[in-house]
C-alpha cells in the first residue's frame, strides 16, 4: 500500500531543508540571479553541513540517491531515501532553484551514479561532484541520437565528442558522459562513463547565458581523445540488444521525479507569496465556498493550488515506487510532465495575479517564472514525457509511436 503522508523519520530532515531554503538560499537569491556565473560561496558551508550529516548517518535522502532494484529486496512498505530526497529538493527549490542546482556533490550526475553504478563503483565515486552530459549540438530530447563515441583501447575507453547544456559543467569535478560503444548497434550500445575533469582532453568551452537558474552554470564541454579507465563505465559493459536502452534510461527514473520536485517547490514559493499579496490587496480566499461564488482572482488561485496538489502527489508516488523497488518509468515521466507544466503555469499565473508587483523585481515572482521554465525542458521536455507516457500505456515501442 502507498502512503503519501510525510514519514515521521523524514520530517526533521525536510524541516531542516525548509529552514535552509528560507534563511540561507532565499536571502541570496536575487544576488546570484544578477551575478550570473559567479560561484555562490555561501553554499560551501551548506555542503559541509550535509557532509557532517552523511558522516553521522543522519542524512538519508539529503544527498543524491538512485533507483536501484533488487529482486530479493525486502517486500515491506518503505518511504525511504528517494522520497526524502524529492521532498527535501522541493523545499530547497522553494528557496531558490538555481542555488539548489549549484549544491556541491549534489549534481544530476550523482543521481546517475547512484542509479546505475555497481557497489564497487559507488564506493569509488563517493564524494565526487558529478554533472551529467547527454545533450549534443545535433539533438535535444532524443538521447538515442548520441554521437559521442567511446572506443575500447586496451584497459581504457577513448571518448570523442561535444556535449552542451551541462548543468554545473564548470564547477563539478567529474562528469557522467553518455557515449555510444557502437553506433551501428543502436540504443543498446549507449553507456555512461564517469570522466574526471583532470583527464587530458576534457575542456569546458564556454558557459551559457540563460533566461533563468542563473546561479547555476550551464556549460559546453568537448572531449578529445579522453582516455577513461574501463572501470569508470557505469554498470555492465556488455551490449544487450534485447535490453535496448533500458539500462541507460534507468537514470531518468530517478532524476525525473527530482526535477518534478524542483518544479513543485518553485511553484509553491509562488503560491505562498501570491496568497499573501492577494490578502494584502483585500482578496479573500474561502475554501468553504465554491470557487464560482468567489472573485475571479480567488477562483483562479484555488484552481492553481489544485493543479499543484496533483503534481505533488504524482511526484511522491514516483519516489515511493523507487523506494519500494517498483518499476517507475511511467510514473517518473508522468510526474515530470505534470509538474513541469504546472510549475510554469502556476508561476506565470501568479505573476499575472500580482499584476505590476509580480512583473517587477521588487518581489521574486518574476524570477520564479523564469526559473520554472527550464524544469519543463531539461531531463526530457513536456512533449517527450507525454510521448513516453503514451508508449507505456499503449504498450508501443519507440519505433511504433514517434
**How many angstroms separate the CA atoms of 77 and 170, rounded?**
40
Q: Which residues contact 312 (CB under 8 A, 6 or more apart)?
A: 90, 264, 339
**How many angstroms separate the CA atoms of 305 and 307, rounded?**
5
136, 363, 379, 400: the catalytic one is 379
**How many angstroms separate the CA atoms of 107 and 169, rounded?**
10
HEC profile of the chain = CCCCCCCHHHHHHHHHHHHHHHHHHHHHHHHHHHCCCCCCCHHHHHHHHHHHHHHHCCCCCCCCCCCCCCCCCCCCCCCCHHHHHHHHHHHHHHHCHHHHHCCCCCCHHHHHHHHHCCHHHHHHCCCCCEEEECCECCECCCHHHCCCEEEEECCEEEEEEEEEEEECCCCCCEEEEEEECCHHHHHHHEEEEEEECCCCCEEEEEECCCCCCCCCCEEEEEEEEEEEEHHHECCCCCCCCCCCCHHHHHHHHHHHHHHHHHHHHHHHHHHHHHHHHHHHCCCCCCCCCCHHHCCHHHHHHHHHHHHHHHHHHHHHHHHHHHHCCCCCHHHHHHHHHHHHHHHHHHHHHHHHHCHHHHHCCCCCHHHHHHHHHHCCCCCCCHHHHHHHHHHHHHCCCCCCCC
Considering only CA atoms, which of 205, 198, 186 is closest in space to residue 228?
A: 198
**How many angstroms separate the CA atoms of 362 and 153, rounded?**
57
Question: What crossing angle do the helices spanning 296-323 and 246-280 adopt, rounded to 10°?
Answer: 150
End-to-end Cα spacing for the chain: 34
**How many angstroms separate the CA atoms of 116 and 253, rounded?**
11
pLDDT at 285: 96
Name which CATH class applies to 8-124: mainly alpha
Considering only CA atoms, which of 99, 62, 95 is closest in space to residue 81?
A: 62
* Widest distance between CA atoms in the chain: 73
**How many angstroms separate the CA atoms of 330 and 390, rounded?**
9
Please give the backbone phi and psi of residue 193, each rounded to the nearest 5 degrees, phi first.
-125, 140
pLDDT at 248: 61
pLDDT at 377: 94
**How many angstroms separate the CA atoms of 221 and 204, rounded?**
4
Q: Answer whether 295's CB lies under 8 Å from 343's CB.
A: no
- Give domain limits for the chain: 8-124, 130-232, 246-394
pLDDT at 344: 98
State the cell numbers at 141: 530530447
What superfamily does domain 246-394 belong to in CATH?
Butyryl-CoA Dehydrogenase, subunit A, domain 3 (1.20.140.10)
pLDDT at 115: 82
Domain 130-232, CATH:
2.40.110.10
Question: Catalytic site residue 379?
Answer: yes
State the cell numbers at 64: 543524491
Q: Give the count of alpha carbons within 13 A of 97, CB side only.
A: 31
The series of mean pLDDT values per 10 residues for the chain, 402 residues long, is: 73 92 97 96 84 55 48 60 91 97 90 87 94 92 88 97 97 96 90 96 98 97 98 88 63 90 98 98 95 96 97 94 90 97 98 97 98 95 95 92 90
Q: Answer whether 220's CB lies under 8 Å from 198's CB.
A: no
Q: Answer whether 25's CB lies under 8 Å from 42's CB.
A: no
Amino acid at each position: 500500500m502507498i502512503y503519501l503522508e510525510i514519514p515521521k523519520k523524514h520530517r526533521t530532515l525536510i524541516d531542516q531543508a525548509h529552514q535552509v531554503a528560507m534563511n540561507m538560499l532565499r536571502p541570496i537569491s536575487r544576488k546570484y540571479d544578477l551575478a550570473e556565473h559567479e560561484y555562490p560561496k555561501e553554499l560551501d558551508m551548506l555542503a559541509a553541513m550535509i557532509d557532517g550529516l552523511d558522516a553521522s548517518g543522519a542524512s538519508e535522502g539529503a544527498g543524491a540517491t538512485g533507483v536501484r532494484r533488487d529482486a530479493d529486496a525486502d517486500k515491506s512498505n518503505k518511504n525511504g531515501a528517494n522520497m526524502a530526497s524529492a521532498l527535501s529538493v522541493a523545499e530547497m527549490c522553494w528557496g531558490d532553484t538555481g542555488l539548489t542546482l549549484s549544491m556541491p556533490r549534489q549534481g544530476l550526475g550523482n543521481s546517475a551514479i547512484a542509479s546505475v553504478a555497481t557497489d564497487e563503483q559507488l564506493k569509488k565515486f563517493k564524494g565526487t561532484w558529478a554533472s551529467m552530459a547527454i545533450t549534443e549540438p545535433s539533438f535535444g530530447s532524443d538521447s538515442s541520437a548520441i554521437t559521442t563515441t567511446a572506443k575500447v583501447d586496451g584497459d581504457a575507453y577513448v571518448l570523442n565528442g561535444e556535449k552542451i547544456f551541462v548543468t554545473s559543467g564548470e564547477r563539478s569535478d567529474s562528469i557522467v558522459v553518455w557515449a555510444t560503444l557502437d553506433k551501428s548497434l543502436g540504443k543498446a550500445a549507449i553507456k555512461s562513463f564517469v570522466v574526471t575533469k583532470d583527464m587530458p582532453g576534457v575542456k569546458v568551452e564556454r558557459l551559457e547565458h540563460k533566461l533563468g537558474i542563473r546561479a547555476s552554470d550551464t556549460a559546453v564541454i568537448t572531449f578529445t581523445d579522453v582516455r577513461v579507465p574501463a572501470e569508470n563505465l557505469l554498470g555492465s559493459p556488455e551490449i544487450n540488444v534485447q535490453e535496448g536502452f533500458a539500462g541507460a534510461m534507468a537514470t531518468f527514473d530517478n532524476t525525473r521525479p527530482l526535477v518534478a520536485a524542483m518544479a513543485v517547490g518553485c511553484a509553491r514559493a509562488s503560491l505562498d507569496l501570491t496568497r499573501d499579496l492577494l490578502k494584502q490587496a483585500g482578496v479573500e480566499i474561502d475554501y468553504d465556498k465554491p470557487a464560482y461564488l468567489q472573485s475571479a482572482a480567488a477562483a483562479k488561485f484555488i484552481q492553481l493550488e489544485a493543479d499543484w496538489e496533483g503534481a505533488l502527489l504524482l511526484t511522491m508516488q514516483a519516489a515511493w515506487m523507487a523506494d519500494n523497488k517498483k518499476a517507475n518509468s511511467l510514473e517518473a515521466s508522468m510526474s515530470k510532465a505534470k509538474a513541469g507544466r504546472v510549475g510554469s503555469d502556476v508561476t506565470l499565473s501568479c505573476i499575472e495575479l500580482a499584476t505590476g508587483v509580480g512583473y517587477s523585481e521588487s518581489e521574486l515572482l518574476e524570477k520564479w517564472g523564469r526559473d520554472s521554465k527550464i524544469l519543463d525542458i531539461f531531463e526530457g521536455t513536456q512533449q517527450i514525457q507525454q510521448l513516453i507516457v503514451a508508449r507505456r500505456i499503449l504498450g508501443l515501442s519507440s519505433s511504433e509511436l514517434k
